[in-house]
Amino acid sequence: MSFQTVYDAATGSSHLDCAFLARRFDPATGDVEGESESLVVTSRRREDSDRGRMATRIGTQGRYTGLWRSAGPEPRLWACARRGWVGVVDLSAPADTTWERDRLTTRPSGLCGVDAGAHQGVYVWGSLGAEHTVHRYPIAGGEAAPLAHPDLRIAAMVGDAERLVAVGDGAASYGEGTWARLRVDTDSPLVAVALAEERVVACTDDGVFVAGTDALTEFGRLPSALPGDIRAIAWWHDALWIAAGRLGLWRMALDEGAPVCVRDDCDPRSLDARGDLLFATSTLIASTADGTRFEAAGKDFVLHARGDAALGAFTE
């Protein structure tokens, strides 16, 4: 039987030092949650080498919904799965090391991490029916602390040493144990968020950009964007970078509001701007140190690593 693989999201400092999510499925039936495989793959730079060593860390026939790799010389890797599982592993440990796990009563739909500062930690958000939750974990692992929920259906979160912001059907900023709603100049749901100097920047799924501090007002649009095109945004090298799926990789200055296409030959699906600009495409993991020269790895890695193994050989 032949299989197909798709990469979804990458986290880390470069394409050589990162982790990413992948899906493996039978192309005859398509990607069906519960039948397809969802996998976590890592890449670690080899000493005195410009190559990375990839390894499949864990897999499930459920669906991993979030992944984050901490910065620093001893990184931790966090993942969450829709069935309620949250886990962390020390990346210096062997690839078959058992993950430290927690199980939530809600279904996690995403996670993000903050490396340092007042908001340091890993944030997992999710829902079950009408119940919506946010939990905060120590980066090194340990017991979760529930946070107040921002009273919006969260699509994305971002944080730094000073701020923590959630967006979805609205936007809210967290501080001193409570969430404060931000006024937003659009009724459309927000799907991506970034922190740009003193401003919060967010985007709707059809490419309308809003920015501000306490109030987010429209300042730009991505040409030809349709619902589902915008996958992620990030502030890197004094510009807003946009992972726009089928439309490619874009860059925009906040004071101009006119996006410029940087690469139209790829379909970026995520962004991490904590080192090089790192992103996943459907077939590659790529990064750039200067916004001009790009390098990539991982093509067909999961396909070859899993070989002819039947779907579902992995268990959580």
For residue range 66-81, list pLDDT tens digits in order.
999 999 889 999 999 9
Per CATH, the architecture of 158-273 is what? 7 Propeller (2.130)
Q: How confident is the model at residue 130 (pLDDT cuts 50, 70, 90)?
A: confident
Mean pLDDT of the chain: 94
Q: Are the C-beta atoms of 249 and 229 separated by less than 8 Å?
A: no
What's the pTM? 0.95
Alpha-carbon distances of 138 from 27, 135, 148, rounded to whole Å: 39, 10, 17
User: How much of the chain, in percent, has pLDDT values that exceed 90?
Assistant: 87
Domain ranges of the chain: 1-147+300-310, 158-273
What pLDDT is attached to residue 47? 73
Write the secondary structure of 229-242 as one string of H (helix), E (strand) and C (coil). Answer: CCCEEEEECCEEEE
pLDDT in tens, 195-241: 998 899 999 999 999 999 999 999 999 999 999 999 999 999 999 99
pLDDT tens, residue by residue, 159-184: 998 899 999 999 999 988 899 999 99
CATH assignment of 1-147+300-310, given 3.40.640.10, 3.65.10.10, 2.130.10.10, 1.10.3720.10?
A: 2.130.10.10
* pLDDT(281) > 60: yes
Higher per-residue pLDDT: 50 or 120? 120
Spatial separation of the C-alpha atoms in residues 91 and 236, rounded to whole Å: 25
Cα–Cα separations (whole angstroms), residue 262 to 180, 215, 242, 288, 292: 35, 29, 10, 12, 8
Q: In angstroms, rounded to a whole number, what is the distance separating the alpha carbons of residues 113 and 194?
A: 13
Residues 19, 43 contacting (CB under 8 angstroms) = yes
pLDDT bucket at 155, cuts 50 / 70 / 90: very high
| Distances, alpha carbon 286 to alpha carbons 3, 77, 263, 280, in Å | 23, 19, 12, 6
- Stretch 11-40: mean pLDDT: 96
The structure tokens 């931000």 sit at 182
Q: Supply the pLDDT for residue 137.
A: 98
Question: Distance from first CA to last CA of the chain, Å, rounded?
Answer: 24
Question: Mapping DSSP to helix (H, G, I), strand (E, B) and coil, where does residue 98 land?
Answer: coil
